[in-house]
């Protein structure tokens, strides 16, 4: 009989991990659990899982590998319940949370019982949510951070990577505190700033509705990350409180510095501010998956002509290139229009770009 894998939380991440495990370990039985039984039924019908349970504790007692694909607070509560039941000594438990310090500390309590917990964080996502959006290629070439502690044998780190090798991810080991510091800067703080910008624009938009219309372009794109789960980000902030409080304090100081040089009309300092930012940004790795969800977008110039949009989508459909989102940025009489096409991966972007250029369409990406 093959080994049993229990995936608790059948959303995009849980479902995608289930598919990648299933692909690499076809002999295993993938058991699913979700608070929403309809999600369980959908996962079963889509063959993301082999069966589902309505009580994960019973399934946990016989599982060989358990994935907690839930928000951090829920995962900690589940680990608390695991402390009260019998789990196989050989069982390995991991999570997918965006903060690691608190849950790893809870996992250490399980280690005292002889059960291995190893924190994990796959740094990949999609603009789509739910188990229906599950994709076994979601994690390809993405960073997958593992946060072992001194009490975890190295063999367990290897074991986790073997369970997850079907993801095609790039595994990195970090201490829990280091993980929370780094992701605080490149993921958590940007989400706070984006959400604050959207709120400020919303306030001004109530007095001046034209602001909402103007924000439909570039502003909407640069604040796209604000369209994330409020409950998830509530948990992230609360579990990375100390790191983010320090970062917010430094951010406020930076804003005061900018306000000061602007008030003084210090042109040289203002130029230096933007020049340094440009150089740092230009030096960042391009074309790689990082902490924030990548924008796999392609922009296509289209003439004002009936049927042009269906022509573009038809060309891509013939090549079996899937478009995840499409938006018309500009399309008025006598003005060249722009289509913004979103894809699942950078590879799809490059293929679409090549095909459309062969069909005489001008395309470009943002960098």
Rounded to two decimals, the pTM is 0.78
DSSP track, 226-266:
GSS-HHHHHHHHHHTHHHHHHHHHHHHHHHHHHHHHHHTT-
pLDDT at 334 over 50: no
User: Are 314 and 348 contained in the same domain?
Assistant: yes
User: Are 42 and 153 contained in the same domain?
Assistant: yes
Q: Which residues are within 8 A (CB) of 222 and not within 5 positions of it... i.e. 6 or more apart? A: 194
The rounded distance, in Å, linking the Cα atoms of 254 and 269 is 13
User: Are 117 and 50 contained in the same domain?
Assistant: yes
pLDDT of residue 232: 86
User: Are 111 and 79 contained in the same domain?
Assistant: yes
Q: Is residue 291 part of a domain?
A: no
How far are the Cα atoms of 68, 200, 211, 213, 227 from residue 206, in angstroms, in the given order?
42, 10, 9, 12, 20
The DSSP letter of residue 303 is: -
pLDDT of residue 307: 81
Q: Over range 32-41, report the average pLDDT.
A: 95
Domain tally, the chain: 3
- Of 282, 309, 344, the domain-final residue: 282
Q: Is residue 228 part of a domain?
A: yes
Query: What percent of the chain has pLDDT above 90?
Result: 62
User: Are 114 and 224 contained in the same domain?
Assistant: no
Q: pLDDT tens, 294-310?
A: 567 888 888 767 788 88
pLDDT of residue 336: 58
Q: pLDDT tens, 124-134?
A: 876 667 898 88
- Of 282, 315, 348, the domain-final residue: 282
- Of 219, 252, 282, the domain-final residue: 282
User: Are 119 and 196 contained in the same domain?
Assistant: no
User: Are 89 and 154 contained in the same domain?
Assistant: yes
Q: Give the model's confidence band at 100: pLDDT under 50 very low, under 70 low, under 90 confident, else very high.
A: very high
Q: pLDDT tens, 45-58?
A: 999 999 999 999 99
pLDDT at 331 over 50: no
The rounded distance, in Å, linking the Cα atoms of 279 and 286 is 14
Q: pLDDT tens, 239-282?
A: 999 999 999 999 999 999 999 999 999 999 999 999 999 999 88
User: Are 212 and 266 contained in the same domain?
Assistant: yes
Query: What percent of the chain has pLDDT above 70?
Result: 93
Q: Over range 160-166, report the average pLDDT.
A: 96
Structure tokens at 43: 């996962």
Q: pLDDT tens, 203-243?
A: 999 999 999 888 876 788 788 888 888 888 999 999 999 99
């Amino acid at each position: 009989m093959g080994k049993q894998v229990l995936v608790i939380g059948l959303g995009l991440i849980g479902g995608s991990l289930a598919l990648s495990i299933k692909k690499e370990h076809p002999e295993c039985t993938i058991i699913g659990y979700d608070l929403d039984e309809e999600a369980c039924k959908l996962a079963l019908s889509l063959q993301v899982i082999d069966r589902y349970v309505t009580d994960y504790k019973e399934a946990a007692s016989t599982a060989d590998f358990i994935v907690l694909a839930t928000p951090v607070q829920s995962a900690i509560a589940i680990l608390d319940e695991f402390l009260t039941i019998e789990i196989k000594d050989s069982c390995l438990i991991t999570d997918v949370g965006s903060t690691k310090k608190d849950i790893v500390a809870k996992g250490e309590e399980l280690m005292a019982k002889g059960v291995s917990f190893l924190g994990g964080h796959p740094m990949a996502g999609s603009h789509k949510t739910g188990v229906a959006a599950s994709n076994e290629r979601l994690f390809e070439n993405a960073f997958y951070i593992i946060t072992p502690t001194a009490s975890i044998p190295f063999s367990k780190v290897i074991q986790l990577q073997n369970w997850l090798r079907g993801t095609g991810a790039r595994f990195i080991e970090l201490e829990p505190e280091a993980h929370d510091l780094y992701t605080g800067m490149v993921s958590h703080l940007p989400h706070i700033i984006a959400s604050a910008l959207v709120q400020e624009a919303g306030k001004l938009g109530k007095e001046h509705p034209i602001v909402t219309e103007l924000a439909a372009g570039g502003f909407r794109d640069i604040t796209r990350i604000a369209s994330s789960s409020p409950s998830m980000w509530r948990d992230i902030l609360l579990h990375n409180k100390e790191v983010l409080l320090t970062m917010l304090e430094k951010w406020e100081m930076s804003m005061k510095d900018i306000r000061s040089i602007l008030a003084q009309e210090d042109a040289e300092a203002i130029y230096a501010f933007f020049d340094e930012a440009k150089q740092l940004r230009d030096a960042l790795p391009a074309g790689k998956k990082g902490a924030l969800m990548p924008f796999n977008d392609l922009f296509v110039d289209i003439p004002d002509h009936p049927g042009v949009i269906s022509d573009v989508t038809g060309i891509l459909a013939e090549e079996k290139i899937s478009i995840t989102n499409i938006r018309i940025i500009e399309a008025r009489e006598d003005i060249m229009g722009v289509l913004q096409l979103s894809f699942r991966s950078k590879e799809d972007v490059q293929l679409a770009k090549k095909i459309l250029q062969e069909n005489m369409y001008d395309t470009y990406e943002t960098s």
